[in-house]
Amino acid sequence: MTISTAPTGTARIARAFARARAERRLALVVYLTVGYPDKAATGGLLRAALDGGADVLELGVPFSDPLADGATVQRASEIALRQRVSLTDCLAEATTIVRERDAAVLLMGYANPFLSYRGGLSGFASDAARAGVAGIIVPDLPSEESAEFDAALDPEGLARIDLYAPTTPDDRLARLVPAARGFVYCVSLAGVTGARRALGADVATFVARVRRHTALPIAVGFGISTAEHVGSLRGVADAVVVGSAALDAVSGAPADGRPEALRAFVSTLAAAGKS
């Protein structure tokens, strides 16, 4: 363990949400698959997302079988894996962006690559803490299976951000949400990730059900693709998560214009979270 005056990853997350709250706007969480469209581009894209107004970065760890993801993230993961992007590469990207920008960074990925990390989960946790990562989001790890992850993450001060879904019943929310750390991630609809034309009709009701059990900030993700979607969540949630739509903004731009296209896209969402 090292003694350091630098804020922990968790403190960076708390700071990012507090800043958004003080400015009376939605915090913006941007997801990007590490290694998409290529390994060398990731750093520039992460900077562009921050320049556009992202408060928190989610670094997507590619996996061969992303069963909670729609076509966009699946394709991004396949392309990243063709370049053999590993969890170690993701930690290296996190280290760089945290050093350079003091950014709040989470890793999002499936259980198996974390379990396969050399040094195991505790080795991962200590490397992630050293990289300045705040925590991890694991879409195929429900609370029932999370004990060994928590045992490794807790001593390093890393948070495991749980996902809750509109299908999660009230008694389950009452049991699990109070134990949440950092923020609470609500999945906007029953489904996989991916840009959509309309948000689920019951998002507001769902967020209200969750809020009864926590004072932590609530983020809504899955399907959020446009400034309109973001605007419609003002007064409902505290933060929005944008992933597939950000990747679409990247893939829709010519190779030399990708960071600028992403920055511009993120800034329209950031603006929609303000007014």
Q: Which residues are catalytic?
A: 58, 69
Binding mask 101-120 for other proteins (x = CB under 8 A): ---------xxxxxxxxx--
Out of 70, 221, 223, 243, point to the residue binding other proteins (CB under 8 A): 70
> How many Cβ atoms from other residues are within 10 Å of residue 78's Cβ?
14
Binding mask 167-206 for other proteins (x = CB under 8 A): xxx--x--------------x--xxx--------------
Residues across the chain: 275
Q: Is 223 in the site for other proteins (CB under 8 A)?
A: no
Q: Which of these ranges, 22-30, 46-54, 166-174, 225-233, lies near other proteins under the rule CB under 8 A?
A: 166-174
**H/E element, 104:** strand 104-108
| Residue 32: closest CA among 253, 261, 250 | 250
Structure tokens at 128: 């992630």
Which 3 state secondary structure label does DSSP give 54? Answer: coil
Q: Is 58 in the site for other proteins (CB under 8 A)?
A: no
Q: Is 145 in the site for other proteins (CB under 8 A)?
A: yes
Q: Are 261 and 252 in contact (CB under 8 A)?
A: yes
Cis peptide leading into 37, omega within 30 of 0?
A: yes
Q: Is 139 in the site for other proteins (CB under 8 A)?
A: yes
Task: Give the start-end residues of each E strand in 98-250.
Answer: 104-108, 135-137, 159-160, 163-164, 184-187, 218-221, 239-242
- Site size for other proteins, by CB under 8 A? 41
Q: Is 78 in the site for other proteins (CB under 8 A)?
A: yes
Q: Which residue has the tokens 């990747």?
A: 247
Out of 163, 203, 246, 247, point to the residue binding other proteins (CB under 8 A): 163
Identity of the residue, 53 or 70, whose beta carbon is nearer to other proteins in the bound complex: 70
Identity of the residue, 140 or 150, whose beta carbon is nearer to other proteins in the bound complex: 140
Q: Is 92 in the site for other proteins (CB under 8 A)?
A: no
Task: Put residue 132 in one of left, alpha, beta given phi > 0 → left and psi -120 to 50 → alpha.
Answer: left
Identity of the residue, 100 or 148, whose beta carbon is nearer to other proteins in the bound complex: 148
Out of 41, 79, 81, 227, point to the residue binding other proteins (CB under 8 A): 81
**H/E element, 114:** helix 111-115
Out of 43, 51, 122, 140, point to the residue binding other proteins (CB under 8 A): 140
Q: Is 207 in the site for other proteins (CB under 8 A)?
A: no
- Amino acid symbol at 4: S
- Amino acid symbol at 155: P
- Residues binding other proteins (CB under 8 A): 63-68, 70, 74, 78, 81, 84, 86-87, 110-118, 139-142, 144-145, 162-169, 172, 187, 190-192
